[in-house]
Amino acid sequence: MGVVTGKGLSDLIREEFGFRPYLFRNGHGLSCGLGDVVAEFAGVAASMQIFGISKYVAVPYRSHRSFGWRLFEELTARWR
Protein backbone atom coordinates (compact mmCIF):
# COMPACT_ATOMS: atom_id res chain seq x y z
CA MET A 1 0.00 0.00 0.00
CA GLY A 2 2.96 2.26 0.52
CA VAL A 3 3.77 2.17 -3.18
CA VAL A 4 0.25 3.25 -4.11
CA THR A 5 -0.29 5.89 -1.40
CA GLY A 6 3.26 7.08 -0.93
CA LYS A 7 2.86 6.74 2.85
CA GLY A 8 4.34 4.35 5.36
CA LEU A 9 2.49 1.82 7.48
CA SER A 10 2.52 4.07 10.54
CA ASP A 11 0.95 6.94 8.60
CA LEU A 12 -1.78 4.69 7.27
CA ILE A 13 -2.54 3.26 10.72
CA ARG A 14 -2.68 6.74 12.25
CA GLU A 15 -5.05 8.01 9.55
CA GLU A 16 -7.38 5.00 9.60
CA PHE A 17 -7.47 4.01 13.28
CA GLY A 18 -6.25 7.01 15.28
CA PHE A 19 -3.40 7.80 17.58
CA ARG A 20 -3.70 4.96 20.15
CA PRO A 21 -3.28 2.06 17.71
CA TYR A 22 -0.46 4.03 16.11
CA LEU A 23 1.35 4.26 19.45
CA PHE A 24 0.66 0.59 20.18
CA ARG A 25 2.11 -0.49 16.84
CA ASN A 26 5.20 1.69 17.18
CA GLY A 27 5.77 0.60 20.79
CA HIS A 28 5.47 -3.02 19.74
CA GLY A 29 7.93 -2.46 16.91
CA LEU A 30 10.37 -0.77 19.28
CA SER A 31 10.18 -3.63 21.79
CA CYS A 32 10.69 -6.21 19.01
CA GLY A 33 13.73 -4.31 17.75
CA LEU A 34 15.18 -4.11 21.25
CA GLY A 35 14.61 -7.84 21.74
CA ASP A 36 16.38 -8.53 18.47
CA VAL A 37 19.44 -6.55 19.55
CA VAL A 38 19.54 -8.30 22.95
CA ALA A 39 19.26 -11.71 21.29
CA GLU A 40 22.07 -10.89 18.87
CA PHE A 41 24.45 -9.85 21.64
CA ALA A 42 23.47 -12.88 23.74
CA GLY A 43 24.35 -15.07 20.76
CA VAL A 44 27.69 -13.32 20.32
CA ALA A 45 28.50 -13.78 24.01
CA ALA A 46 27.54 -17.46 23.99
CA SER A 47 29.40 -18.31 20.80
CA MET A 48 32.58 -16.51 21.83
CA GLN A 49 32.60 -18.28 25.20
CA ILE A 50 32.73 -21.58 23.30
CA PHE A 51 36.06 -20.43 21.85
CA GLY A 52 37.34 -19.22 25.23
CA ILE A 53 36.85 -15.49 24.65
CA SER A 54 35.26 -13.60 27.51
CA LYS A 55 31.80 -12.15 26.94
CA TYR A 56 33.02 -8.91 28.51
CA VAL A 57 35.46 -8.57 25.61
CA ALA A 58 33.39 -10.02 22.76
CA VAL A 59 30.17 -8.04 23.21
CA PRO A 60 31.75 -4.54 23.35
CA TYR A 61 34.02 -5.47 20.43
CA ARG A 62 31.02 -6.58 18.36
CA SER A 63 28.98 -3.51 19.29
CA HIS A 64 31.80 -1.20 18.24
CA ARG A 65 32.22 -3.11 14.98
CA SER A 66 28.48 -2.87 14.26
CA PHE A 67 28.38 0.83 15.04
CA GLY A 68 31.50 1.47 12.98
CA TRP A 69 30.10 -0.43 10.03
CA ARG A 70 26.82 1.49 10.13
CA LEU A 71 28.67 4.79 10.44
CA PHE A 72 30.92 3.86 7.50
CA GLU A 73 27.91 2.90 5.37
CA GLU A 74 26.11 6.12 6.28
CA LEU A 75 29.09 8.29 5.42
CA THR A 76 29.92 6.55 2.15
CA ALA A 77 26.26 6.54 1.02
CA ARG A 78 26.37 10.32 0.78
CA TRP A 79 29.14 10.20 -1.82
CA ARG A 80 27.52 7.63 -4.11
How many distinct structural domains can be found in the chain?
1
Distance in angstroms (rounded) separating the CA atoms of residues 44 and 57: 11
Q: What is the pLDDT of residues 54-70, one digit of tens each?
A: 999 999 999 999 888 88
The per-residue pLDDT string of the chain (80 residues; one tens digit each, 9 = 90 and over) reads 667 888 888 888 888 898 898 899 889 989 999 999 999 999 999 999 999 999 999 999 999 998 888 888 888 887 76
Is residue 36 a contact partner of residue 43, using CB atoms and an 8 Å limit?
no
DSSP state of 59: H
What is the distance, to the nearest Å, from the Cα of residue 36 to the centroid of all Cα atoms in its chain?
A: 7
The span from the CA of 37 to the CA of 23, in Å, is 21
Q: What is the pTM of this model?
A: 0.67
